[in-house]
Amino acid sequence: MKSGKVAIGGDGNAPISWTARKDIARFLAHVLVHSPASRLQNQVLRLEGDRVVRFLLFLAQIRQRIDRITRSQSFNEIFRGYEERTGTKLDVTYRTIDSLRAKLAENAYDFDAYLHIIWATDGLVGEPDNGLFPEWNPTKVLDILAPRA
Amino acid sequence: MAALTTALADAHVVISTVSLMALDAQVPVAQAAKAAGATLFLPSEYGGPTDNLQGLLGAKGTLQDKLREVGPPLLLVYTGPFADYSWSQCVPSCMISFPRG
């Protein structure tokens, strides 16, 4: 990012769930102590560190659609935020999903192509369980990337 | 195996954070965790959902069945990519920033 040049897969608008490691640790420490065994054993926890707003549960369907758009950070949202905060203009290269798939076909261990395909097509963890730790307050991507002084 | 079980002796919950290269090592760890009496095992997920995934990270998903067979009940933690690792100014290994100028 310092060079001003970035390259990602797809069109950059796909929503992606991001979580910082120390926030994962804090969340796990909390739920492992406070949640009942029934919520933990043979269960799944979906964490989404970067998010914007949470609506009420009974607005479930509408909420899911709006939340999906507003809360998860797509690459373009992150780049826009970075440009606004730092005044640096980024030169973004968008690599098509097809070109990434071709790379993966050539080399099945191309981890970079593999990850960017996932991030461009299926980057969300699913309905988050953030509510299990109401005070979680995880770090936002933009605050990691371009912390306010 | 005995050594692992002893090492995990008082653990209620065993959390694995091994890298992709060492995923299979989790099988004996899960077995030892169960033998030691742990009631919960967290395999090294911390990414996108892997239960039905193909390709490089799909190994995490297929491993889950094996872990269920031999270990304590699982807790799968899906978090998306690491925000701090991906976005800190770690230019050499950032998967997002390249080509490097």
pLDDT digits (tens, 9 = 90+) for A34-47: 999 999 999 999 99
Backbone angles phi, psi at B32, to 5 degrees: -65, -40
Q: Label residue A55 by pLDDT band (50, 70, 90).
A: very low
Question: Per the CB < 8 Å rule, is B97 touching A22?
Answer: no
Higher pLDDT, B22 or A3: B22
pLDDT of residue B83: 87
Question: Per the CB < 8 Å rule, is A108 touching B15?
Answer: no
pLDDT of residue A56: 34
Flag whether B52 is in a domain. yes
Flag whether B90 is in a domain. yes
DSSP element (H, E) containing B41: strand B40-42
Flag whether B85 is in a domain. yes
Flag whether B50 is in a domain. yes
- pTM, 2 dp: 0.81
Q: What is the extent of the structural domain holding B9? A: 2-94
Separation of alpha carbons A3 and B37, rounded Å: 52
pLDDT of residue A45: 95
Q: Measured between CB atoms, which of B68, B74, B83 is closest to A19? A: B83
Flag whether B99 is in a domain. no
Rounded average pLDDT over A61-72: 53
Nearest-CA neighbor of A33 among B73, B100, B40, B49? B40
Q: Residue B91 above 60 pLDDT?
A: no
Flag whether B101 is in a domain. no
Q: Label residue B100 by pLDDT band (50, 70, 90).
A: very low
Rounded average pLDDT over B33-53: 92
Flag whether B79 is in a domain. yes
Flag whether B23 is in a domain. yes
Separation of alpha carbons B12 and B32, rounded Å: 12
Q: Label residue A66 by pLDDT band (50, 70, 90).
A: low
The domain total for chain B is 1
A·B CB contacts under 8 A: 139
Q: Residue A60 above 70 pLDDT?
A: no
